[in-house]
Amino acid sequence: MPQSRFEVAVFGGGCFWCTEAVFSILRGVHSVSPGYAGGHVDHPTYDQVSAGTSGHAEVIRFEYNPSLISYPDLLNVFFATHDPTTVNRQGNDIGPQYRSVIFFTTPEQKISAEEFIRVLNTSEEQGAPVVTRIESLTKFWPAEDYHEKYYENHKEQSYCQIVINPKLQKVKEKFANLLASSTG
């Protein structure tokens, strides 16, 4: 059986609407899905996760082609587009569901993420220590359908305008070399 050219990564950087929008514009990234990981409730709902009672983080699960974009490049974008120095908070979103977390799917991803954080924590650039957790992915639960492609389907909403648009602009400026060719 031929091996898939895609690998799976799962990142939680606060609101999954933001993270999905950011990773959807990168070259080599395929099938970005918002969902939940790291909790203790089977089949969690958005209401359970939002209440902070299920233990899950809002995450995205995506497939990427490592011949088009490397895992370290993905980590670079991830750490540049959220605050990895605050515990259980991203901007006005507060609670364990908004924690900064990497759910690794391979031993190589774990090693790469640990090294990336070690370098960030020894550099002058980051400032405060990185609190991003690195955990093994045990289960990914897809979010409800209305969360899929949220930014794409709601660009005119104030949250998208105020929170997501600046992140996308930052990615387009800082990571132009990593954008999909159809991204403006």
| Lookup: tokens for 63 | 């497939």
> What percentage of residues in the chain have a pLDDT greater than 70?
95
2, exposed or middle or buried, with CB in 10 Å at 0-12, 13-18, 19+? exposed
Residues paired with residue 170 on neighbouring β-strands, in sequence order? none
| Lookup: tokens for 32 | 């970005």
| Lookup: tokens for 168 | 């996308």
Q: Is 160 a catalytic residue?
A: no
With a cut of 80, say whether residue 57 has pLDDT above it: yes
Q: Where are the domains of the chain?
A: 7-178
Cβ atoms of 74 and 26 closer than 8 Å: yes
Say which CATH class 7-178 falls into.
alpha beta
Residues 119-152 pLDDT 10s: 999 987 657 899 999 999 999 999 999 999 999 9
Q: What is the pLDDT of residue 181?
A: 80
- Set 15, 77, 137, 178: catalytic member: 15
Mean pLDDT throughout 9-22?
A: 96
With a cut of 60, say whether residue 1 has pLDDT above it: no
Region of poorest pLDDT, from 58-67, 93-102, 115-124, 175-184: 175-184
With a cut of 60, say whether residue 3 has pLDDT above it: no
Q: What is the pLDDT of residue 4?
A: 60
Entry pTM? 0.93
Cβ atoms of 135 and 102 closer than 8 Å: yes
Mean pLDDT throughout 32-53?
A: 96
With a cut of 70, say whether residue 182 has pLDDT above it: no
Give the integer Cα–Cα distance in Å for 34 and 121: 28
